[in-house]
Structure 1
Amino acid sequence: MGNSEQVEKRVIVALDVPDEQSAIALIDRLPQVSFWKVGLELFTSTGPKILEVLKSKEKRIFLDLKFHDIPNTVAGACRSAARYGVDLLTIHAAAGEDALKAASEAVQEAATQAGVKPPKLIAITLLTSISSRQLAFDLKVPVELPEYILDMALLAWDVGLDGVVCSPQELAQLRPRFKDDFLLVCPGVRPTWADKGDQKRSLTPAQAIIAGADYLVIGRPITTATEPELAWKRISEELTTVA
């Protein structure tokens, strides 16, 4: 890392708001943020219009729609998403090898046709709201959570995806296993002063960067703060300790 500004660029702020007006207000309130996540709620509300807004403001975009369907449907969705020129795009690793391969091929093909840079396609290993107990008892997965996470990451790696989404607590296990160009994107990052909410497996921003995260996804600690600018400043100051 060079300096604190470079570390800041590895923070993706989640635009977890219900409509375009709220999203634009937050984007304008935090001009220092260069990378924004658009998830299911906002994209379902606004469609691609919010992506156009972010592009017009020269922001980077993480389109986090977590595709999980049969290979043909996933490929079609990824083909459409790639044409938007977003930077990161997600698919569930649990969709299986065939779906991951189809998605990867579709992204490259569509981006080439549209004349845009293909998004980095990253796989969801396991939602950060899922605990070890829920994995075993609710989802009936008969392996330990760390083993399951590693298996999903290895599947994504073998298929040729660009990285995975994992909780910060899996970083110590995953970072040594993969090359530096295999992205590890971490939601569920919570500063010590923020409420953990429904995140079961979290670390602080500084801890996550030190453990090997390429990008941190931070939403509610910033977006629901009374003063989002102050929350962003506090997180930025924390990250100067690892710059």
Structure 2
Amino acid sequence: MRPIFIALDFKNRTEVWNFLAEFPELDGLAVKVGMELFYMEGPDFVRELIARGLRVFLDLKLYDIPHTVEQAMSQLGRLGVSYVTVHGSGGAEMLQAAKRGLVKGSQELGVVGPKLLAITQLTSMSEHQLKSEQLVNATMAESVVHLARLAYENGADGVIAAAVEDELIHQATSSAFLTINPGIRLENDAQDDQKRVVTPSQAVSLGSDGIVVGRSITSSTNPVATYQLIKQEWERK
């Protein structure tokens, strides 16, 4: 089942539980925990979410030397989360080390390891920024596909990318290689700091394997109704 991850971009656990209290059923609900929340509440809070039946995507975007990433992933593999992220631009050795660490940590816990997802290019990044700030001569699509193929060849289970790049990624890798897409907005929502955005229904047509939705839900006056609306779009064939 393709997940809809609700991005829990809150300051602390109190705000999270106040938000989640509006949902009638938590078991099986997929959520994303990012750096802001993790750095405040730590791994015990992640375990708390999992104990309540939530599927957790831990989005820490690791990027460091291979040894450090391997040791960190070994710790994260013990948490019981469903997905974790690294930056694909960290290179082949770092990606391989991340996978080794996840396998080691999850085996010690006696659970199936998390899916390893590699960040290609952030959905807040424009092609102009790619060229002027990162000095990348390739187009956005070329850069994303290159990093996706690198991740595919070095143990990752999928990538984080803009939905408009999904078809190219699947062509360059495999239909089973996951493309998880942030930058999802409803038709009349503000883009905020995102540059490459699509609606849930557009993501479906582009071949998305999962979407991450934050402010469209968390800033809504009726988060549950908005989530259900997104779910209807997402599940429409």
1:170-219 deviation digits (Å, cap 9, x = unpaired): 11322233323211100011110211111101111011022111110000
The equivalent residue for 2:142 is 147
Q: Taking every aligned residue pair, what percent have the same amino acid on both sides?
A: 35
The equivalent residue for 2:66 is 71
2:111 maps to 1:116: yes
1:219-239 deviation digits (Å, cap 9, x = unpaired): 000001122122112212323
**Which aligned pairs between 1:60-139 and structure 2 lie closer than 5 A?**
60-139=55-134
In structure 2, the CA distance between the partners of 1:74 and 1:133, relative to structure 1 (3 Å rule), is same
Shift of 1:240: 4.2
2:188 maps to 1:171: no
Report the count of equivalent residues: 235
Q: Identify unmatched segments of 5+ residues in structure 1.
A: 1-5
Q: TM-score, normalised by structure 2?
A: 0.95
**Which aligned pairs between 1:195-210 and structure 2 lie closer than 5 A?**
195-210=190-205
CA–CA distance in 1 between the matches of 2:31 and 2:67? 28
The answer to which structure, 1 or 2, has the higher relative contact order (CA under 8 A, 6+ apart) is 1
> Aligned to 2:178, which of 169, 183, 192?
183
Deviates more, 1:190-199 or 1:122-131: 190-199
Deviates more, 1:108-117 or 1:79-88: 108-117
Q: Is the 8 A contact 2:4 2:231 kept in 1?
A: no
The equivalent residue for 2:231 is 236
The equivalent residue for 2:23 is 30
> Aligned to 1:58, which of 50, 53, 56?
53
> Aligned to 2:34, which of 39, 43, 55?
39
In structure 2, the CA distance between the partners of 1:139 and 1:31, relative to structure 1 (3 Å rule), is farther
CA–CA distance in 1 between the matches of 2:167 and 2:233? 20
Kindly provide the amino acid, as one letter, of the partner of residue 234 in structure 1.
L
Shift of 1:32: 4.7
1:46-70 deviation digits (Å, cap 9, x = unpaired): 0012212211211111000000111
Q: Is the 8 A contact 2:145 2:172 kept in 1?
A: no
CA–CA distance in 1 between the matches of 2:93 and 2:80? 24
**Secondary structure, counterpart of 1:179 in structure 2:** coil
CA–CA distance in 2 between the matches of 1:140 and 1:74? 25
Shift of 1:136: 0.3
CA–CA distance in 1 between the matches of 2:170 and 2:107? 31
CA–CA distance in 2 between the matches of 1:176 and 1:65? 27
| RMSD over aligned Cα atoms | 1.3
CA–CA distance in 2 between the matches of 1:32 and 1:192? 26
> Aligned to 1:17, which of 4, 10, 24?
10
Q: TM-score, normalised by structure 1?
A: 0.93
CA–CA distance in 2 between the matches of 1:230 and 1:64? 25
